[in-house]
A = this chain, B = another copy of it.
Amino acid sequence: MTRARRFFSCLGDDVRLASMLLIHAEKELCVCELVEALNENQSKISRHLGQLRNCGLVKDRRQGQWVFYSLHPELPDWAIKILEQSSVAEARSLKVMTQRLGSMRNRPERATVDA
């Protein structure tokens, strides 16, 4: 009863939950984008992302001055499904955050790794 419990502990914090849901929705986000979308200070965001990384929920890649976070490729299927359900539950606030993201100026460009 420890895999799932660890997963839930990670999601049991507003910043981490919101980060996970946004990353899930947007595929990949850098710290400064999350800072903007969640409207929280950088140190807080970084710290929580670090935790998510340590727990194996996300992976990071550096590109220039930015560090981009995405869901860890080996996240089990049940974990993904739980994120999907959580997105349903939090659709409202997720929308607000996505809008803040959309109206953000100077978003870093990705080195289009994907297709």
Interface residues of A in 74-108 (CB under 8 A from B): 76, 78-79, 81-82, 85-86, 88-90, 93
For chain A, the count of residues having a C-beta within 8 Å of the partner chain is 25
User: Which of A6-14, A25-33, A42-50, A58-66 is the contact stretch?
Assistant: A6-14
Chain B residues with Cβ below 8 Å from A12 are 5, 8-9, 11-12
**CB <8 Å contact, A11 and B5:** yes
**A1 at interface, CB cutoff 8 A:** yes
Max chain B CB contacts within 10 Å: which of A1, A81, A86?
A1
What copy number does this chain have within its complex? 2
| Contact of A89 (CB < 8 Å), options: B9, B18, B78, B85 | B78
Select one of B5, B13, B81, B85 contacting A13, CB under 8 A. B5
